[in-house]
Amino acid sequence: MKVYLDNSATTPMDPEVFEAMKPYFLENYGNPSSIHSHGRQARSTIEKCRKKISDLLNTSPAEIFFTSGGTEADNTAICSSIESLGINTAITSKLEHHAVLHTLEYLAKERKVELKYVDVDQDGRVDMEHLASLLQKNPSFVSLMHANNEIGNLNDIQAIGDLVKANDGYFHSDTVQALGKYEHDLSALKADFIVGAAHKIYGPKGCGFLYINHETKIEPFIHGGAQERNMRGGTENVAGIVGLAKAMEISYRDMDKNRQHISSLKERMLIGLKKKISGATFNGLSGSMDESLYSVINVGLPATDENDMLLFNLDIRGISASGGSACASGSNIGSHVLTALGVDPERGAIRFSFSKYTKPEEVDYAVDALAELMN
């Protein structure tokens, strides 16, 4: 049996998305910057997609900018803000995705910003009192994600946004993992920037977007042509944008159905792991059905000599999972998230993440395979 349980890394493409994209590879292939009919058709398609996404997020099309994915969007928000807004203090947590952490660490190393880390408890909850104390020093750029890609923890970005704005700061949230699983009402959320990536919601790789609040003015990160209203040079990925918009549409259309199905899979695996593996724990809040993503489990396993081979041995059995963030796959460096939580490095850690296509029998197979390896 082949079982794919690494959907936080990337999801399979929805056939509806693929069908929507096909004409823009083979028929409607014009450059959207060209003024002839082929180009005008491509431009019209992009603007329709922008309108569709903005409607789903309850914001203006003028605030949606297409990018090559989440990493570029994060870099644009962070680097352009530090450069354009006269900010000298940035605040984040040590649990953020490397697209955020490494970018801020680089800027701090170059002495472009002073970087501060908000405290988190042993389960990864943000210390809001500490955040408030950091914000009172001077206006800051705050970057805290909605849903953690490794342990699934959900931050209350509504409360964080309110706190940041009450202290005249700027708020950026990497919403890549939460997009399409939860609704984001940008008319109510006090965020300057949020981020999305198509391949996390059954769309294509290589396309994403950055929301920039109209009241926040920054300079481009990528220079070149006048694309994306002079905010992002480079010919737009028309087929990718079509796929992103279609994937967003389907995710919102089927959100309740998908949540119900995927939540049942998570609950099934939690019960199975507790029953069949003595000493199994759940890192961060991933064992909670309420405080973490309903699509992610990060299981902690008793220390054994075989832990370094767990992913390999699961792969031999046809099971694809992750030892942490997908961006760290293949490296010998342990998960920075689990390290920040103080998790014993001798314990094994496997992240399982589910999709709307995952079946109950696949979950059972993975639980039995892991139990066999641990016993």
327 classed as catalytic: yes
CB atoms within 10 A of CB 155: 22
CA distances from 216 to 48, 70, 75, 171, 186 (A): 24, 19, 16, 10, 14
DSSP secondary structure string, 277-309? STT-EESTTTT-SSSB-TTEEEEEE---TTGGG
286-298: buried (b, 16+ CB within 10 Å) or exposed (e) per residue? bbbeebbbbbbbb
Asked whether 173 and 78 are in contact (CB, 8 A), the reply is no
What is the distance between the alpha carbons of residues 298 and 126, in angstroms, rounded to a whole number? 19
From the candidates 49, 79, 207, 327, which is the catalytic residue? 327
CB atoms within 10 A of CB 24: 20
**Pairing of β 89-92 and β 114-117:** parallel
Burial of 108 (0-12, 13-18, 19+ CB in 10 A): middle
Residues forming the active site: 327
